[in-house]
Structure 1
Amino acid sequence: MSAEVERPTAVPAASNRLVAGLEECETDDRAPYVLNKSELRLLAIAGIGFFLDAYDLFIINQVALMLQFRYYGGQHLPSGLEGFIKAGANIGSVIGQFLFGYLADAFGRKAVYGKELMTIIFATIMCIAVPAYLGSEGVLIWVGVFRIVLGIGVGGDYPMSASITGDRASLRKRGTMLIYVFANQGWGSFVGSLMTMTVLACFKKSIDTNGQVYKVDAVWRIVVGLSLIPAFGTLYQRLTLPESTRFSKTRNAEADEAQVDVKEKELDIKKEEPATASNSSASGVPAQSEVELKKKAHIHEFLSYLSEWRHAKLLIGTALSWFLVDIAFYGINLNTSVVLQQIGFDGAGNNAWHKMFRIATGNLIITALGFVPGYYVTVLTVERLGRKFIQIQGFIMSSVFLAILAAKFHTLSTPAFIVCFALMQFFFNFGANATTYMYPAELFPTRYRAFAHGISAASGKAGAILASLAFNALSKKIGTPAVMWIFVGCNLFGAFVTFVCLPEVKGRDPDAIELEERRVARENARSVPNENIDAHITSGCKIGVERNSSPKRVSKLDLKSTPSQTSKSNKKRKAAPLAAIFQPKRSSPSPPPMQREPSLDDTPTPKRAKTSKDRLADVAPLAERMRPKTLDNLVGQEHLVGKGSLLRGLMESGSTGSMIFWGPPGSGKTTLARLLASHTSAAFTELSATSSGASEVRSVFESAKSQLKLTGRRTILFVDEIQRFNKAQQDLFLPYIENGWIELVGATTENPSFKLNGALLSRCRVFVLEKLTDEQIETILLQALRRLEPPAPSSAKPPSSPPPPPSSRSGSPILSQPVQPSSQYPQVTSRILASIASLAAGDARTALSLLELVISAPASIREEKLLESLKRSVSSRYDRSGEDRYDMISALHKSLRGSDGSAAMYWLARMLTAGEDPLYIARRLIVVASEDVGLADNSALPLAIATYTACQTIGVPECRINLAHCVAFLAEAPKSTRSYEAYNKAEEAAKEDSAVSVPMVIRNAPTKLMKDLGYGDGYAYNPAYAHPVHNEYLPLERQGHVFLKTEGDKSEKAWDERLLMRWEMRANGGRDWEGRSRVERNEMNMSRDRVAEDSKG
């Protein structure tokens, strides 16, 4: 078998849809607005929330009108109470946006998502359950209070849905997905008006004809209560939505860093400030729970993040622009009655039903003309035009139409007013109303995304509250046109804020940017000023570096913190200056440190505290800790990594390309992949196909693509057990490998030609790893023992000539001399090591795991007991879904065919002890009975079928006796392949004769017409004759062909092994057949065949 198999690169197959498991994936040739199944599901879960948000927020205008007719005879509600019920939801939204935004980042999306919808459901039920006996003011206060509670849930949905969508969407479609979710706001407003019209139509007779105006109380309760249907329909999906991979990874990394920082701080304070109170922790503060630590760490990091102007400017930009757009947007949409009056849909007149119905119709028209179209134009263009352009033009264009309305408010014709108002609404939604929702979800990294979005959204709702409370009062004082001029000014100022404070975020990966910021902060030898960090990142970390910065006191904790944290030194702790740690030593001789004044050169490098990575390494299995760090330390695979080999040359050149490592377990596939990463400057990412899905793979791809754009570093993706991915999931790799965005290194224990997609295989080199020999396993074990030995004391005299290390590549035995038991591991002997090497069967991981078991055993344990335990601890290598299964069943079949009963019994036992299903073996025995024994012994097939029935009836372990019986019989039975070979020949002829007709003589003739046509004419019915008769049964084209040979035909390979053995024993003076070698047996068989040919002649 060759060491490397190189395959030519093929053109990728055109594929627009790839189904990976339950998720549907897309390639880059699909338009961003085309959604797949998983994206549609996410849209349904997150979008329904916004549908309900708009439904509940904007329906209040029509509910307020109904409350006028129910409690105030159609007169206006008291201005204070009207403002309270209209602003109540927005007041609650501010609370909900802050609260849920913080909780989503601190405790996770999964822990919080769905609770905001439960709040909405509770508040809606309480609103429609308001008791009528409270009176007019009591009902308004009740509704207003629970609309505040409703607003808490509605507000919580803003950061939750934005972060849920932003965490799961790919960079290429993130903006589109966010707008799709937000666009449900337009549908919520539209359906709210439509439901109002529908319910009013149902009550037309009662309210309009019969004059029962009090029944409007039922109308508003039904209209509000209808929102519970989609709410309950979505609640379960939200509560069971799993945590996103992106957030989980970010949170784990954050927790590790926070824990390391706290532990290092405790260690430093322990050294400098001994604890004085018994109830205090080592850090001098009371012990805190893990949850409190996480909360404080999150708040501290968020505030530190915002302490830098470049981050604070982004939050100011998102919050202020949202505040300004909501002043105008909600100022108009929460007071549409003024606008409806201008366009003739104010419901003038005293008829309550007609007035309510006309206002609902007017709201429907406004929504249909401006709301919904604006959202979907944004969906179609956001990934082309970008967020910043859409937001600025939206501010400006809505200002233009607002200015027209303000200037001509009383003089515009109704059609012109409708057109201007619709265009203003269109540019609100094809503009700032949509993009202000997107910006926080795309600007801020995952760990701060929800809280930053909540702060921005709360600022917007503050503008909405201001507008809803001030609109009526200002309209009465200065007039509606003057209020609209104020809205014009807000919009223009919003365009200016967007231009100054907000960058374009199309294709921006905030997590990659934050990661780069943290990496820069940890570069101890160089520093980047905060004001230059953006230019530094954009330039691929090449500009903005101060190589000769002034000495700066940086503690160990500071070196591990974020860029914002590095500026805040801990004054209680003392540490060596950063410049002193890395300053080169002077070449001139100097007196001992104790005889001169200390200087910077004498500052010792502080001992590094263990990080979370170190602690994880300490508890890793021995096989993981003993992985070779260099190619020279790798044992085995000389054909791949030896001097002058292809793979070694590729690794040393740093130009590897995509490749597949195929080899048995424990042969070094993962080790080779990690060594490959250490020889390149590329980022290295590991995934396991057993625990990762399409979403994780897509996340790695997007990260790799962003990192390549940002820093120019390519990514090597190592996928262990890559054969576990199905064909469609493997297709997901194709465009990224083809474009060079990643280099794939796959590891598999299965034959790649069977398990991997041909298109993927054609883009990768295949390197075959060989099974390790026992000698190589023993070398690995000895190396591990040497590394586990404690270091010799510094006072010990080094040996004059240290013994050379054992050969790691030659494979020569290294245990010819007994291993001397060490004082640390006396239980490890030569016999134990040899037993481990034998039991490992070429698997270095298994060998090291067994060695770990031995060294952890008590030193007093007897060697025999230890050997027995080792044998019991090794599991079978047999894989019922892999090649081993088919190899062994093939060995059993061939042993039976060759009448080797001993070999057949051995392979049967191997399969049963490995846990194979007895019915699988029994099915194969049925095949052997017909294929190999066949006509030589017709009792073989009934016995095989009876064996299958017995296995079904009695099961394991007793059915092994039935299988052994059948195997013994089939092995000793004479063999004949006459029927099998006859069918094969007939099948070949049948494929060639697909158009050949059945001879007339043997055709069926059930009718008179068919008999008249000659069907069956001349057929001799055999039972009617006392002597044999002959009909021509083959078609004319095949007459004379022999498919089934006669029993006496010597050319067939039917023979009885036992008869042959007796014949050979007589021919060779009684020498036993069993005593002959394989070559001698084959020669005897050939001699037998020659005798058969001679007798035939």
Structure 2
Amino acid sequence: MARDQLQVLNALDVAKTQWYHFTAIVIAGMGFFTDAYDLFCISLVTKLLGRIYFHVPGSEKPGTLPPSFSSAINGVALVGTLVGQLFFGWLGDKLGRKKVYGLTLMLMCLSSLGGGLSFGKDPKSVMLTLCFFRFWLGFGIGGDYPLSATIMSEYANKKTRGAFIAAVFAMQGFGILGGGIFAIFVSAAFDARFPAPSYAEDPIRSTIPEADYVWRIILMVGAIPAAMTYYWRMKMPETARYTALVAKNAAQAANDMGKVLQQDIQEEQHKVDRMRAGTTWGLFSKEFAKRHGLHLLGTTSTWFLLDIAFYSQNLFQKDIFSAVGWIPPAKSMNAIHEVFKISRAQTLIALCSTVPGYWFTVFLIDRIGRFTIQILGFAMMTIFMFALALPYNHWTHPDNRIGFVVMYALTFFFANFGPNATTFVVPAEIFPARLRSTCHGISAASGKAGAIIGAFGFLYLAQSPDPTKTDEGYPPGIGVKKSLIVLGVVNLLGLLFTFLVPEAKGRSLEDMSQENEDDGQEETSV
């Protein structure tokens, strides 16, 4: 039987777009700006770390990070993120969204500073210290996923809820863009102040001592947006849906949202008190499996498959650009100029495809729906991956490299105007309030498991040896070709699992999660 909707929740559902909506987007979104900056800026400086700490005197090529360290530096933050998503997702449902919201920012801020201050008596010690801080950085970032998504979904109205949640996530694109732009600025400034010859001209002087400051500055700046947002996060009231439906305090919910919406709202404690045990089933119950088991399978599987492809592309795009010759050979540049070239390539991709893709989702998600966008995104990513992989030798020819970059950029566009945004939005809409943060954390952690597989797997495949070279002197890139084929198959699987995910466009959170159904069943949580 349907239960009457609480007035405070109905007021949120039908509220016109107001200033507090945009304030919430900025407060939550700055966390995601920081998340993306911190996670992806490491890919800009990994080659510089190899030049500084692992140069072999007399070698014909600049120093590179050993595969073990390269994997660890990229992967440890993802492991931390996965753990943080599970832990903070659960904690957000137990203690409330607001109580743990500031803690994630503090972790990100302190860990960003710690990573930039990594020191040691030898290169191995420096890398291990960096890995330690990047784990805790990822742990804080992980908490931001379920908390930001849940808070934004519970603040938004049902008409534009998808756009608001997607706008928070779209700040990730600006974080990637901001990281690239700042790295360009820092590397250009150091290159102008401390000019150095290329590696081919002078292997020793091509990596100046001041280069050690470059990567540290780039990593530490990630603490600034996190610190700037902390005060405003602490000023946000707890969401009404947590206060009323989980904490069972209708008076506090009405008071908090009355101030936010600037209107009088009835407390209706009697409605909260009448809520029966039939809606207290837990995550590990038969009732949850019956109502939301397939939904959770859909959100976890699609996010898992998406992140295998998305993080492979993002973390190692510099290797792909090098393979097709878009970034010059390392020995033709000095250490800092190489950072400039890599940063410029990432910035162009972010500016032309990543950021527009996110905002296409923001503008269209409440018009055409989550399901349509996710199907379209996975389908186009599949097509472009196979179009790049099957005629790979064609794309690596010098005359066709620009075409390769354009098509590669389009995969980023349809990832963000597609499943990279929708997999974040949907888990915040379809589960009950008392399990919403937990289920979003589980879904996000599944995605990070895919990211870890993608990061480590792509590193292995992309570094597999190329036994031959063509007459023109460019490698056939067997490792990269295999990787692109695998990613195409992964995207196709993501498309198929999308059919397990329900459409939430225009529906209230209580309708989607079936919290307004009172079937009188006894509690079955275990």
Partner residue of 2:504?
Answer: 505
- Alpha carbons 2:162, 2:505 under 8 Å: kept: yes
**Quick one: which of 396, 418, 423 aligns to 1:431?**
418
**TM-score normalised per structure 2:** 0.82
Partner residue of 1:243?
Answer: 238
Q: Distance in 2 between matches of 1:514 and 1:314?
A: 10
Partner residue of 2:475?
Answer: none
Partner residue of 1:326?
Answer: 307
Partner residue of 2:77?
Answer: 89
Q: Distance in 1 between matches of 2:168 and 2:385?
A: 27
Which runs of structure 2 are paired with 1:557-636 in the superposition (5 Å)? 558=522, 561=523
Partner residue of 1:194?
Answer: 181
Q: Distance in 2 between matches of 1:426 and 1:513?
A: 29
- Alpha carbons 1:328, 1:491 under 8 Å: kept: yes
1:769-809 CA distance string (max 9 Å, x none): xxxxxxxxxxxxxxxxxxxxxxxxxxxxxxxxxxxxxxxxx
Partner residue of 2:104?
Answer: 116
Aligned partner letter, 1:520 = D
- Alpha carbons 2:374, 2:419 under 8 Å: kept: yes
Q: Distance in 2 between matches of 1:363 and 1:384?
A: 31
Which runs of structure 2 are paired with 1:167-316 in the superposition (5 Å)? 167-209=154-196, 211=205, 213-253=208-248, 301-304=282-285, 307-316=288-297
Partner residue of 1:53?
Answer: 35
**TM-score normalised per structure 1:** 0.40
1:350 CA displacement: 4.0
SS in 2 for 1:302: coil
SS in 2 for 1:520: coil
**Quick one: which of 383, 387, 394 aligns to 1:400?**
383
Q: Distance in 2 between matches of 1:247 and 1:298?
A: 14
User: Relative to 1, partners in 2 of residues 1:306 and 1:403: Cα closer, same or farther, differing over 3 Å?
Assistant: farther
Q: Distance in 2 between matches of 1:230 and 1:168?
A: 23
- Alpha carbons 2:279, 2:518 under 8 Å: kept: no
Q: Distance in 2 between matches of 1:88 and 1:298?
A: 39
Work out whether 1:345 is the aligned partner of 2:326.
yes
Aligned partner letter, 1:104 = G
1:354 CA displacement: 2.4
Aligned partner letter, 2:328 = G
1:328 CA displacement: 0.5
Partner residue of 2:8?
Answer: none
CA RMSD of aligned residues (A): 2.4
Q: Distance in 2 between matches of 1:303 and 1:463?
A: 23
1:300 CA displacement: 6.7
Work out whether 1:363 is the aligned partner of 2:346.
yes
Aligned partner letter, 1:335 = F
Partner residue of 2:452?
Answer: 465
Q: Distance in 2 between matches of 1:138 and 1:468?
A: 23
SS in 1 for 2:502: coil
1:518 CA displacement: 4.4
Which runs of structure 2 are paired with 1:913-932 in the superposition (5 Å)? none
Q: Distance in 2 between matches of 1:156 and 1:126?
A: 19
1:158-180 CA distance string (max 9 Å, x none): 00100110110111111000110
Work out whether 1:451 is the aligned partner of 2:455.
no
- Alpha carbons 1:119, 1:153 under 8 Å: kept: yes
Work out whether 1:99 is the aligned partner of 2:107.
no
1:343 CA displacement: 5.0
- Alpha carbons 1:206, 1:215 under 8 Å: kept: no
**Quick one: which of 18, 41, 62 aligns to 2:44?**
62
Q: Distance in 2 between matches of 1:460 and 1:25?
A: 30
SS in 2 for 1:443: coil
User: Relative to 1, partners in 2 of residues 1:315 and 1:516: Cα closer, same or farther, differing over 3 Å?
Assistant: closer
Q: Distance in 1 between matches of 2:209 and 2:447?
A: 37
Q: Distance in 2 between matches of 1:495 and 1:426?
A: 16
User: Relative to 1, partners in 2 of residues 1:336 and 1:306: Cα closer, same or farther, differing over 3 Å?
Assistant: farther
Aligned partner letter, 2:313 = I
User: Relative to 1, partners in 2 of residues 1:397 and 1:514: Cα closer, same or farther, differing over 3 Å?
Assistant: closer
User: Relative to 1, partners in 2 of residues 1:63 and 1:253: Cα closer, same or farther, differing over 3 Å?
Assistant: same
1:520 CA displacement: 2.2
User: Relative to 1, partners in 2 of residues 1:369 and 1:513: Cα closer, same or farther, differing over 3 Å?
Assistant: closer
Aligned partner letter, 1:83 = S
Aligned partner letter, 1:492 = L
Partner residue of 2:23?
Answer: 41
1:134 CA displacement: 2.5
Q: Distance in 1 between matches of 2:142 and 2:516?
A: 32
1:755-779 CA distance string (max 9 Å, x none): xxxxxxxxxxxxxxxxxxxxxxxxx
1:517 CA displacement: 6.3
Q: Distance in 2 between matches of 1:253 and 1:75?
A: 60
User: Relative to 1, partners in 2 of residues 1:105 and 1:203: Cα closer, same or farther, differing over 3 Å?
Assistant: same
Which runs of structure 2 are paired with 1:1058-1097 in the superposition (5 Å)? none
Partner residue of 2:259?
Answer: none
SS in 2 for 1:345: coil
SS in 2 for 1:479: helix
1:380 CA displacement: 1.1
- Alpha carbons 1:398, 1:424 under 8 Å: kept: yes
Partner residue of 1:159?
Answer: 146
Q: Distance in 1 between matches of 2:131 and 2:288?
A: 38
Q: Distance in 1 between matches of 2:125 and 2:99?
A: 37
Aligned partner letter, 2:413 = F
Which runs of structure 2 are paired with 1:813-892 in the superposition (5 Å)? none
Q: How many residues align?
A: 456
Partner residue of 1:136?
Answer: 123
- Alpha carbons 1:96, 1:154 under 8 Å: kept: yes
1:808-852 CA distance string (max 9 Å, x none): xxxxxxxxxxxxxxxxxxxxxxxxxxxxxxxxxxxxxxxxxxxxx
1:27 CA displacement: 7.9
SS in 1 for 2:321: helix
1:495 CA displacement: 0.7
Partner residue of 1:417?
Answer: 404
Q: Which has the higher contact order (CA 8 A, sep 6+)?
A: 2
Q: Distance in 1 between matches of 2:356 and 2:29?
A: 17
Q: Distance in 1 between matches of 2:12 and 2:439?
A: 30
Q: Distance in 2 between matches of 1:343 and 1:161?
A: 38
User: Relative to 1, partners in 2 of residues 1:307 and 1:298: Cα closer, same or farther, differing over 3 Å?
Assistant: closer
Q: Distance in 1 between matches of 2:429 and 2:515?
A: 17
Q: Distance in 1 between matches of 2:88 and 2:392?
A: 41
Aligned partner letter, 2:385 = L
Partner residue of 2:479?
Answer: 479
Partner residue of 1:493?
Answer: 493
Q: Distance in 1 between matches of 2:14 and 2:285?
A: 39
**Quick one: which of 54, 66, 70 aligns to 1:72?**
54
1:422 CA displacement: 1.3
Which runs of structure 2 are paired with 1:584-983 in the superposition (5 Å)? none
Q: What percent of counterpart residues are identical?
A: 36
- Alpha carbons 2:14, 2:157 under 8 Å: kept: no
Aligned partner letter, 1:197 = I
Work out whether 1:391 is the aligned partner of 2:374.
yes
1:94 CA displacement: 0.6
- Alpha carbons 1:324, 1:460 under 8 Å: kept: yes
- Alpha carbons 2:432, 2:515 under 8 Å: kept: no
Q: Distance in 1 between matches of 2:458 and 2:171?
A: 26
Which runs of structure 2 are paired with 1:531-570 in the superposition (5 Å)? 558=522, 561=523
1:479 CA displacement: 1.6
- Alpha carbons 1:208, 1:353 under 8 Å: kept: no
